Amino acid sequence: MEDALLKELLNVEDSIEIKVRFNDVDAMGAVHFKKYLVYFDDGFVSFMNNIQDPLSVENALKSGIVFPVKKVDIEYEASAEFGDHVIVKTRIKSIRDTSITFLHDIYRESDKALLAKVICVRLVMELESKNLVNVKQFFSKFV
């Protein structure tokens, strides 16, 4: 069961389109580097919500489960500008007992140029107790 679950999750890829807003850009007209973190979060939420509805991030939060970020490694390749549409592609690189490593790539929709890529390690945690949840058990309830 566990191996099948891991294999299934590692084969899932999600994408979401985001329009760059005016307040996303800096004085040079390019998306400010910190806004990419918001786009990566949007990709995470879309990914989790599309695995299966009961696993939606909103439902997890209501039940006291949160997904804190432990580590982020971003590599910027190019810039998006106001009015661009960007595509955030998200997939899981690995699942460990207490962490999930996500890969996010952001592309400009118009020319498919890679803008940024990130490796993001997230935990699954019970908010009230601050105890980490076994990630494989967490996913097995929903997938």
Query: What is the structure's pLDDT at 60?
Result: 86
Fold of 2-140: Thiol Ester Dehydrase; Chain A (3.10.129)
Please state, in angstroms and as integers, the Cα–Cα distance from residue 117 to each residue in 57, 72, 75, 89, following that order: 22, 10, 5, 9
Query: What is the structure's pLDDT at 1?
Result: 42
The three-state secondary structure class of 54 is helix
Query: What is the structure's pLDDT at 11?
Result: 87
Distance CA 94, CA 106 (A): 19
Distance CA 58, CA 64 (A): 10
Query: What is the structure's pLDDT at 143?
Result: 54
Query: What is the structure's pLDDT at 139?
Result: 80
Tell me, what DSSP letter sits at residue 27? T
Q: Which residues contact 7 (CB under 8 A, 6 or more apart)?
A: none
Residues in the chain where the model's pLDDT stays below 70: 1-2, 52-55, 141-143
